[in-house]
Amino acid sequence: MSMPDMTAQFQAPAKQPHILVVEDDPFVREVLEIYLRGEGYRVTLARDGSEMRSVLVNDTVHLVIMDLRLPREDGFALTRHLREQHAVGIIILTTRNETVDRVVGLECGADDYVTKPFEERELLARIRSVLRRTGALADNLTVPRHHAHPAAGQKVLAFHGCTLDESAGLFRARDGAETLLTGNECRLLAHLVRCAAHVQSRESLMAAVLQKSWDPLDRSIDVLITRLRHKIEGDPKRPAIIKTIRGTGYLVTPDAGLAENAA
């Protein structure tokens, strides 16, 4: 199958999730295009950061599959750009056993990762999970972050004078300041809040948040905790909400005002 010079777009119903694949390997692009299109997704292909930005300016994208080894701008830099500028799900593609790449990718803001060579059914499961967490069927998901608003009628968790709108991934601090969380950050915080006062091991958090088996060398949960603390704590170095229990895991400290309501 011949590959287009820039992007390949497919007509689809307005509510069909749109996936942008950023990958410079033409064989991998073609494999992903054929497989994801066959699973009912609208697919656009980009070979580098320039083509990725062009797509985002002109179209609504729900999820980006990001290769880390790209010409000119690498996938880490592009992931940081996406997380800062767009409310979009991000799955990084990384070489098998490259733990550092997985950790740095998550630190840059990715929602999940898949290792190469990837198993198609696992990739599909990851895509569906991220799309569910990011509310991918909502319109205009790739609008700039400062334009994102929580959806009315969604459940909101209240704790420590703060709130978390899970559907919008929106954290609101005591002073009213709002911060948009990534899918995994939101999922992790919601899980810890619902289990407030009960220590959660890294193993249990890996399973509940990332749906992955525990690997002692995988620092994904620690990375997510660090990112969360920088977004929700007044002083990330002296956290008041998410505590580390040495040798065990993490917990959200009990709060008499903890409640779950409908917005």
Looking at the chain, which runs of residues are DSSP E strands?
18-22, 42-46, 63-67, 89-95, 112-116, 155-159, 162-165, 170-172, 178-180, 200-201, 242-245, 249-252, 259-262
Strands in 104-258 per DSSP E: 112-116, 155-159, 162-165, 170-172, 178-180, 200-201, 242-245, 249-252
* pLDDT band at residue 139 under the 50/70/90 scheme: very low
- Could you count the other beta carbons within 10 Å of the beta carbon of residue 192? 25
Residue type, position 237, single letter: K
121 plus 33 within the same structural domain: yes
Q: Specify burial of residue 246 (Cβ count, 10 A radius: 0-12, 13-18, 19+).
A: exposed
Contact between residue 112 and residue 126 where contact means Cβ atoms under 8 Å apart: yes
**Token reading at 102:** 């997985």
Q: What is the domain count for the chain?
A: 2
What pLDDT is recorded for position 253?
Answer: 86
One domain for residues 121 and 161: no
Tokens of 125: 């499961």
Q: Cα 54 to chain center, whole Å?
A: 21
Banded pLDDT at 154 (limits 50, 70, 90): low
Q: Which of 109, 134, 159 is the last residue of a domain?
A: 134
Task: Tell me which residue range forms the domain holding 179.
Answer: 150-262
Give the C-alpha separation, 29 to 123, whole Å. 14
Comparing 6 with 155, the larger pLDDT belongs to 155
Q: What is the model's pLDDT at position 15? A: 65
Residue 162 and residue 124 in one domain: no
Residue 98 lies inside a defined structural domain of this protein = yes
CB neighbourhood size of 240 (10 A): 12
In this prediction, residue 163 carries a pLDDT of 93
The pTM for the full model equals 0.58
pLDDT at residue 107 in the model: 84
CATH number of the domain bearing residue 48: 3.40.50.2300
CATH code of the domain in which 209 resides: 1.10.10.10
Looking at the structure, tell me whether residues 130 and 155 fall in a common domain.
Answer: no
Q: Is residue 140 included in any domain, yes or no?
A: no
